Structures are given as C-alpha cells and as structure tokens.
Amino acid sequence: MLVRNNLTYTEIDGINYPDFEEGKTPPKPIGQWGRRHAFYLKEFNYPKYFKLLCTSDMYDYLELVNEEATELYDRLIEQYKKKQGVTEKLKAKDMMEWVGRMNNIHNQVTDVVYDQIIFVDEAIKQEHFEYYQRYKGALKPGEEPNFKAFARFEKKEERKRQKALEKKEAQNGRYS
C-alpha cells in the first residue's frame, strides 16, 4: 500500500491503483455555481478536482461553493437594483427598459461572483473548506448545516488562528 497526496494506492501486477471511497450521493443539488466551479477545477486545477472526487468530498465542497455564490448573487442583485433605480414601477411603466437594466445587472453581478467565488485562489478556497469540515464536525446530532452559522463559526476560527499567530510572534520577540 502506497500513500501519496493523502490518497492510498494498492499495487496490483506492478501498477498502483487509487483506493476509492464509497461514493456519496449528493445531499442536495450542487446548483449552477457549484457546477461552474467544478468545471473550473477540472480544467485548471485537475489534481484538486481528482482528490475531491476520490475522497468523496466533492459534493460537500461544491454545495458550500453554490450556497456562498447564491447568497452573494441574491444580495448583490438587490443592491444593484436599488442603486440603479430598477423598481416594480419601472417594470409596469416600461417593460423593455426594465428587462434591459435587469440583464445589465445580472451580467455585472455574475462577473462579481465569478471573480470572488468561482475563480478564486485555491489555497483560500481550501482553507474555507477545512473550516466547513470542522464546523460540520461540531454540529449536534440531527442539527442541519446552516450557512450563516457557518460564517460565524468561520470568523471565530479565523480570530483564534490570528490570536495564535500573534501569541507565537510575541513569544519570538517580534511584538514588544
């Protein structure tokens, strides 16, 4: 048995085959943003894509990406509508103007979601996913994961990490 990149391999006739875990069925659909991020990983970071696929963490990871992206998308759509004066009155008054503005807003917000969530630095995304795994482990039996509760948990974990770094640097004499 060989272990490389957190994957175990079994040798059969001189060839190492990865040991796949029993596949999970997705608890809920991964959505459009999850699918887009999966495509991005497959094309531009195949080792990470393959690792997630082999360890059965793919659906959890993509579900988290989809929830985060959907929340950002919905929030930004509302903000942009208010900022640009797109209202139901405009919709009733001039439907074509309303459709044009909404398409413009949709395109702007989609670009923001791509830049901030879908096509981001993988090291940051991996750290985020590790926080999510710890959060899921801290849930009480029968408690469902909640994105807002996870965001609070993640901030708390980040503060702990920051305090530990500051303490370590203080011990090394960097802070006096």
Encode pLDDT of 51-60 as tens digits: 888 877 888 8
pLDDT digits (tens, 9 = 90+) for 96-133: 999 999 999 999 999 889 888 888 765 556 666 666 66
C-beta separation of 16 from 9 below 8 A: yes
Confidence category of residue 176, pLDDT binned at 50, 70, 90: very low
Torsion from C-alpha of 61, 29, 27, 24, nearest 10 degrees: -70
pTM: 0.58
- Per-residue burial over 39-49, b if 16 or more Cβ lie within 10 Å, else e, is ebbeeeeeeeb
Q: Which tokens is 17 given?
A: 């085959």
Q: Which tokens is 110 given?
A: 């989609």
3-state secondary structure of 10: strand
